[in-house]
Structure 1
Amino acid sequence: MTGPGTISGVGLGPGDPELMSVKADRLLRNARHVAFFRKEGRTGQARKIIDGMLRPDVTEIAMEYPVTTEIPLTDPRYNELLSAFYDDSTARLRALSDAGEDVVVVSEGDPFFYGSFMHLYTRLRDVCPVRLVPAITGMAAAWTATGEPITWGDDVLTTLMGTLPEDDLVEHMRRSDALIVMKIGRNIDKIRGALRKAGRYDAAWLVEYASMPGQTVQKLSEAADKVTPYFSIIVVHGQGRRP
């Protein structure tokens, strides 16, 4: 009897395929089944990163998100739809595992850092073999792109989601030495306002498409009122103790 197959959650890193781990590269090039998340009608960023790396006979499993931006995060339907989506995706992967097939599920960045694979992992870990392959995060690529260290000495680094209420953003921004702000998009005006209230606006950098084609790095104050793309991160460097 064939034992159950292993579901591998593989982090791809920030976007540049050359920043992928050796282990991730090996698993991908040998995988018979590769699953990835995407929006309906889109290729998906994770799939773009691995283009040209897969074996000719690979089976690709596209897991398409059911929720778009017209449903507020506070609407109960948002969680209901996402939960059903993750349950369905889990069932598809578990069926392959039960049949003895290994599956590689790819994630942008690191699978355990605000990644969709986390929701599959918690559903799968007690019912089939699961392994994780960590990766460089997008924020690491972003602060590297600025050419300045993100933390010094005893600096406290805080990672914030732009979806938080403005007052919460301000509180965290005031208390931390170094800042990373993610999920910017349509939250950019709120984030700008929070940075100004916290006295951090002039020190903020905007990095778009870190490590990817089209990467840009500029002071946030010089970005005017442009709409930032999905792959944008705001960086505020710590200025702590140093020799």
Structure 2
Amino acid sequence: MSGQGTGTIHGVGLGPGDPDLMSVRADRLVRGAKHVAFFRKLGRGGRARSIVEGMLREDVVEFPMEYPVTTEIPLSDPRYNEVLSGFYETCADRLRTLSATGEDVVVLCEGDPFFYGSFMHLYTRLSAARDVRVIPAITGMSAAWTASGAPITWGDDILSTVMGTLDEATLTDAMTRADALVVMKIGRNLPKVRRALHAAGKYDRAVLVEYASMEGQTVRPLGEYTEKTLPYFSIIVVHGQGRRP
């Protein structure tokens, strides 16, 4: 519950990238927001911000939250969590202070705010003392399997979402156990992901979707892709082959 006179912080899911796939509520909040916050890499415009280009009020006050690190420090390095924890706390403090003045804030979130999104790290720091409301959205993986032109699951198929950042043994085990797969956070982990898919017997069914629902969308068998890394907005899907009438 928020205190008397405090504003509301909205974590607004924008969907996979196409503004037409935003919910009606998300569209309304974005267009009416006086204060808008969003994550971005240092020196970049920000993908979330680009999705709402042309939708914001003329007098909008923007708060870009620029990541101090992305891939410069390995995930295994203790400094990674330390640096990001401080960053999220600083962002939360600013949103907390703004909310205390009675102002509402819209935090733009790519995809769904509660699905591997940065907003969840603000939510855990703010929700106990502020009115924080989350607007769900279509996920990037949903856009990816839709772009592939086939259902991701049939009948009793088990669908697993796995991260390319996992170690190879864990990846292989998860891929082997599942009937259908969504593989995310691949990037420079692509060679490892390929090996795990081969070991799990699913490589020949793997489909690579880049920039799902966005400009530049491509869909092709993973085997046709020859590079050793993938751009950020890339998802690999393996369709289930389960029971059907």
Taking structure 1 as the reference length, the TM-score comes to 0.98
1:44 to 43, 46, 53: 46
SS, match of residue 111 in structure 1: coil
**Residues 9 and 99, structure 2, Cα contact 8 Å, conserved in 1:** yes
Equivalence for 1:201: 203
Task: Please list, as runs of the form range in 1=range in 2, the aligned pairs for 1:44-123 lying within 5 A after superposition.
Answer: 44-123=46-125
- Of all paired residues, the percent bearing the same amino acid is 70
Kindly provide the amino acid, as one letter, of the partner of residue 97 in structure 2. Answer: A
For residues 90-113 of structure 1, the C-alpha deviation after alignment (integer angstroms, 9 at most, x for no partner) is 000000110000000011000000
| Unaligned stretches of 5+ residues in structure 1 | none
Kindly state the Cα deviation for residue 10 of structure 1 after the two structures are TM-superposed: 0.3
SS, match of residue 83 in structure 2: helix
CA–CA distance in 1 between the matches of 2:45 and 2:227? 28
Task: Please list, as runs of the form range in 1=range in 2, the aligned pairs for 1:1-243 lying within 5 A after superposition.
Answer: 3-225=5-227, 227-243=229-245
Kindly state the Cα deviation for residue 225 of structure 1 after the two structures are TM-superposed: 2.6
CA–CA distance in 1 between the matches of 2:175 and 2:84? 30
CA–CA distance in 2 between the matches of 1:209 and 1:180? 15
Kindly provide the amino acid, as one letter, of the partner of residue 153 in structure 1. Answer: G
Kindly state the Cα deviation for residue 161 of structure 1 after the two structures are TM-superposed: 0.5
CA–CA distance in 2 between the matches of 1:101 and 1:228? 40
Kindly state the Cα deviation for residue 68 of structure 1 after the two structures are TM-superposed: 2.9
SS, match of residue 197 in structure 2: helix
Kindly state the Cα deviation for residue 189 of structure 1 after the two structures are TM-superposed: 0.5
CA–CA distance in 1 between the matches of 2:113 and 2:189? 24
Pick which of 217-226 and 187-196 moved more.
217-226
CA–CA distance in 2 between the matches of 1:224 and 1:83? 36
Pick which of 39-48 and 218-227 moved more.
218-227
CA–CA distance in 2 between the matches of 1:135 and 1:77? 32
CA–CA distance in 2 between the matches of 1:199 and 1:222? 17
Pairs aligned (count): 243
SS, match of residue 217 in structure 1: strand
SS, match of residue 55 in structure 2: coil
Pick which of 90-99 and 221-230 moved more.
221-230
**Residues 113 and 120, structure 2, Cα contact 8 Å, conserved in 1:** yes
Kindly state the Cα deviation for residue 224 of structure 1 after the two structures are TM-superposed: 1.9
Structure 1 segments of 4+ aligned residues over 4 angstroms from their partners: none
| Unaligned stretches of 5+ residues in structure 2 | none
Kindly provide the amino acid, as one letter, of the partner of residue 106 in structure 1. Answer: L
CA–CA distance in 2 between the matches of 1:167 and 1:2? 52
